[in-house]
A and B are shown apart, each in its own frame.
Chain A
C-alpha cells in the first residue's frame, strides 16, 4: 500500500519594478517596446570604471512590498547592505549581479490565501532588491544581446517552505501577483517575464518533522505551469520514494510542451556565487520616518478592499472577491456604482456579465472598454432593465455590444429609447439647481477645492448622484461642477 507523503513547497518569485529609471543608472526601465540596446549607458553596460548609484524609487517600492506582505523592514540602526553575486554569463555585463545577500530590505512576513474555504498562511522569509540581466536572443547561428533589460530593478520574494500542495502554490502566486499589482509596483506580467517563478519541492512521510531532499524547478512562466509542474514533480518524487529510491538534489526545468520536468543541473555542479559586500555602495540606513510615511501612503490592498465592498455595497464575499481580483476592475466597479448607486449588486453582476467576457476574449484594455461603455450608459442599461423597460436579453445585448464597440445604427435607436428618461435630467437646466444645492450644503469641501484639493470632486459627483438617484450623466455633472466651482473661485455668480 502506498505510503502517505506530505508535500513541502517553497516559492521564489522575481518581479520587475515599475520605476521610471533603472536600478543603478538613469536609463529608462521601460525596455519592452524600445529598439535593442537603445536604453543603455556605461553603468548598465558594465563598462570599465562605471559605478552604480541606488534608485531611491526602487527602494521605496521594495519597502511597499515588504510592508504589504507584513514584513519587518530593516530600519536604522539596522543596515541594509548590497552584495555582489559572482558568476559568468553573457547576459551579465559586469560578471556579477548587485543583489542583497544577508541583510535584505524586508523579512519575516506572510501572505494569507483561501483555498476550498480554508485560510492558509504562507510565511514570507525575505524580500530583497537586485538588478535584472540583459536579454539573450538566439538567432540562427549567433546569440544577440539586448542590454535594455540590464539593470532593471528586480525584487525577489522568498517564502518559507509552508506550501502543502500544487494548488496552494498556484493560489499563493496569484495572491502575490495581485498584491504587487495593487501596489502598482509591478505589472506582474508572466508572459513578458515581469514576474518569474521558481519552486523548491520535497516530500516527506506524513507526520515527519524532517525535510526531505528537495529539487528546484525553474521556467514556471504561468499560473498553470506552477500547478502542473509541481503536480508532475510530486508524482515523480513519490514514485522514486515508493520504489525505495532517493531523491537527488537537482535543478529541474519545466518543459511546458512535453509537460515534464527535465534535469538541468545536479548538486555537484551547484554554483558558488562567492557573495561579498559590494564595495561601490556603502550600507544604507533606512530612516524610520520615511518607512512610516511609505506605510501611511500604501494603497488599499485587496483584502481590505474586499471587506469594504462587502460592508459598503452589501456585496457577497464571492462577488467582492471577483470584483477585487484586479485593481483596475475594482476601480471600474466603483466608478460604475457611482453612476448607479441604487443597486451595487446589480452593477457588479452587470460587470461580470458584460465586461469580463470581453476582457477575456480580446486584447482590449479595461480603459478602452470603459470608454466604449461609460458608467452612465451602463447605469442606464441597468435602470432600464430594473424598471422593466427592456428585457434581460436586450440589456445583455446592449451592454455586450457597447463593451465590444459594436454599436450599430439600430442599437443607437434602442439606446436612445433606454435613455429617454435621462434626457430629463441630462441637461444643464435640470442639473444646475441640484449642483448649486450640493455646493451650498457643503462649504468645507468647497473651500478644500479652492485650496487646490481636486479630489473632492469625486465627493461632489457622489452627492449629485445621490440627489438625482444616479440618473444624471456623471461627465456632465463633473463639467458643470468644475464650471460652477471656478465661478466661485473668481467671485462671480454666473447664471
Chain B
C-alpha cells in the first residue's frame, strides 16, 4: 500500500482504525516529495519538521478517539493563502521574505479540523497565469509529462495532489485557476459559489472573482474538504450567510431524470479533437445513466474573455498597490519615498503582473472608466443572465474545462493572448459567481482531460452529485501519473 497515493477518505479510514499513524502518512508523503519534487517542483516552501510535529499531535488526538474531520491528513496550501509560520510569496519577488502574522480563515478551519500543513505550493505570480510559468521562482512540471505545464495558476497544488506530494491541496480560482490545472493534472478541482469560502487571508488578485477551492484526488474528498472550509465568516463581508451544509450528503450515485445542458459555445471549433471526444464520451455515459442531455446556448460566452480582462486587472491594479516596499517584502533603495516605491515595484513585479496593473489602471482612468470598466460590468450582468436562464431549464451544465490537454513548457509564454485563451472555458463562471467542478474524464494520448460541471449559485450539491455519479461509473480518478 502506497500511503502517498491514498485519498483523504481512504487515509482517514485507516487513521481512525489506527491501521496507520498520521506520522507514517506524513512521513510517506514527505519522502515521496523529497524523491520527486526535484522534477515536479510543486512546493515553494515545505515545512517537514512542523508537519511531523503536527502529525504527532494528530496521532495523540486520534488515540484519544477524536473524530475531527481531517485529523492527521496532510495538505498543501497555494502560496497566495496566508498561513502563520510560513512565508507567503504569491510566487512574487515583491513578497520575498514576507511571513503573514495570521492564518487565513480557510487555514484556520483546516487546522481546527486536524489537517497537517505541509507547505506552500507554487503559483503564477499573484495567481495571474495558466501554467505557473509566471512564478518568479520556478515553473512547476506536470507529473504526467514533466516537459509540460501543470496548468495554473494553482499548478503547484494540482501537481502536488496528482503526484502524491499531498493528500489534498487548496488552490484559488479567479478565472479558472483551480479547475484548469486540476484538468491538466488529472485531479478534481472545485470552485464553489462566490462567497461560499471566506476570502479572509487569501491575498487578493481580483476581489469580486477570487474564490478558494479544494484540489483533491476524487469527488468524495472535494465534498469532505468543502464541508470543512465553507460557511459564513464575519471577517469577510462578501461571504454567504449561514453555515455550510455537509456536502458528503450530496454524494448520491444517481442522475436519472436530471437535466444536463451542453452549452454549444463550449464545443468550439479549434479546440483539441481528442479533448472534445473524451468530454462527449463522458456525457454519453451520463446519458446512459439516465440523465437527459440537451444543447443550450450561452450567447454572451465570447465576451467573457474581454470582460474578465477588464474587471480582473482593474481590481488587481488597486489590490496590488499596497506592495510599495514601505512595510514588508522586497524593498529597493531610493533617494526618497517616491523613488523607493517606483523601484520596488519596477524590480519586484514580473511582466504579466505589470501588464495587468497597467491594463487595470488604464481601464479605471478618468475618461475611460465608462467605456471599459463600467461597460465590462454591464456585460458581466449579461453573462450572468445567460447562466440564470440556462440553469432555469437545466440542473447542471457540462463542458470541457480546457480546450486542450497540458501544453509544453514555453509554448505559450511569449504570447500573452495565446496564454489567456487557455482559460477560455473557465472565465465565465467566476464572472457569474456560479459553482463549477472539474473532474478527470479520460486521456488525450498520455495526458489527462477534464470535464467541467457547472451549477446554480449556492447549489454545490447538484454538481457534486453529478460528478460523483460519473466518477462511480468510471475509473479515471484512480489513475496515477507515472512519475
Q: A93-B327, A280-B207 are in contact. Are A53 and B100 (CB under 8 A)?
A: no
B364 in complex: contacting residue of A50, A51, A274, CB < 8 Å: A274
B315 close to chain A: CB less than 8 A: yes
A145 close to chain B: CB less than 8 A: yes
Bound-state Cα–Cα, A368 to B346, Å: 57
Do A48 and B322 have beta carbons less than 8 Å apart? yes
Which of A52, A280, A281 has the most C-beta atoms of chain B within 10 angstroms of its own C-beta? Answer: A280
B341 in complex: contacting residue of A42, A46, A88, A275, CB < 8 Å: A88
Do B200 and A50 have beta carbons less than 8 Å apart? yes
Bound-state Cα–Cα, A280 to B364, Å: 17
Do B364 and A276 have beta carbons less than 8 Å apart? yes
Per-residue A-contact encoding for B54-98, CB less than 8 Å = 1, 0 else:
000000000000000000000000000110000010100001001
Which of A42, A47, A52, A53 has the most C-beta atoms of chain B within 10 angstroms of its own C-beta? Answer: A47
Which of A42, A145, A279 has the most C-beta atoms of chain B within 10 angstroms of its own C-beta? Answer: A279
Bound-state Cα–Cα, A281 to B81, Å: 20
Nearest to A281 among chain B residues (CB) is B237
Q: What is the interface of chain A mostly: helix, strand, loop, or mixed? A: loop
Do B203 and A86 have beta carbons less than 8 Å apart? no
Which of A48, A84, A88, A95 has the most C-beta atoms of chain B within 10 angstroms of its own C-beta? Answer: A48
Do A272 and B237 have beta carbons less than 8 Å apart? no
Do B326 and A145 have beta carbons less than 8 Å apart? yes
B365 in complex: contacting residue of A45, A52, A274, CB < 8 Å: A274
B41 close to chain A: CB less than 8 A: no
Instruction: Report A113 CB to chain B, min CB distance, Å.
Output: 35
Which of B98, B203, B318, B328 has the most C-beta atoms of chain A within 10 angstroms of its own C-beta? Answer: B318
Contacts of B322 in A (CB 8 A): 46, 48, 93-95
Do B364 and A282 have beta carbons less than 8 Å apart? no
Contacts of A90 in B (CB 8 A): 324, 326, 337, 341
Per-residue B-contact encoding for A245-278, CB less than 8 Å = 1, 0 else:
0000000000000000000000000001011100
Do A86 and B341 have beta carbons less than 8 Å apart? no
B366 close to chain A: CB less than 8 A: yes
Given contact pairs A274-B364, A276-B373, enumerate 13 new A-B contacts (beta carbons under 8 Å): A42-B101, A49-B88, A49-B200, A49-B202, A53-B234, A86-B321, A86-B364, A90-B337, A95-B321, A145-B327, A272-B365, A274-B369, A280-B207
Which of A46, A90, A274 has the most C-beta atoms of chain B within 10 angstroms of its own C-beta? Answer: A274
Instruction: Report B232 CB to chain A, min CB distance, Å.
Output: 12
B236 close to chain A: CB less than 8 A: yes
Instruction: Report B326 CB to chain A, min CB distance, Å.
Output: 5
Instruction: Report B409 CB to chain A, min CB distance, Å.
Output: 28
19 contacts between A and B (CB under 8 A): A46-B327, A48-B90, A48-B98, A49-B203, A50-B201, A51-B200, A53-B235, A86-B318, A88-B324, A88-B341, A90-B326, A93-B322, A145-B326, A274-B317, A276-B314, A276-B364, A279-B206, A279-B238, A281-B238
Q: Which residues, 313 to 345 on B, are CB-close (under 8 Å) to A?
A: 314-315, 317-318, 320-324, 326-328, 337, 341
Bound-state Cα–Cα, A391 to B366, Å: 73
Per-residue B-contact encoding for A86-102, CB less than 8 Å = 1, 0 else:
10101001111000000
Q: What is the interface of chain B mostly: helix, strand, loop, or mixed? A: loop
B361 close to chain A: CB less than 8 A: yes
Bound-state Cα–Cα, A96 to B95, Å: 19
Instruction: Report B327 CB to chain A, min CB distance, Å.
Output: 6
Contacts of B356 in A (CB 8 A): none
Q: A53-B235, A90-B337 are in contact. Are A276 and B369 (CB under 8 A)?
A: yes
Q: Which residues, 285 to 331 on B, are CB-close (under 8 Å) to A?
A: 314-315, 317-318, 320-324, 326-328
Bound-state Cα–Cα, A279 to B311, Å: 11
Bound-state Cα–Cα, A54 to B236, Å: 10
Bound-state Cα–Cα, A94 to B315, Å: 13
Bound-state Cα–Cα, A393 to B234, Å: 65
Per-residue B-contact encoding for A439-483, CB less than 8 Å = 1, 0 else:
000000000000000000000000000000000000000000000
Contacts of A45 in B (CB 8 A): 327
Contacts of B318 in A (CB 8 A): 84, 86, 95-96, 274, 276
Contacts of A48 in B (CB 8 A): 82, 88, 90, 95, 98, 100, 203-204, 322
Bound-state Cα–Cα, A428 to B101, Å: 63
Do A274 and B235 have beta carbons less than 8 Å apart? no
B104 close to chain A: CB less than 8 A: yes
Q: A49-B201, A276-B369 are in contact. Are A88 and B321 (CB under 8 A)?
A: yes
Nearest to A25 among chain B residues (CB) is B235
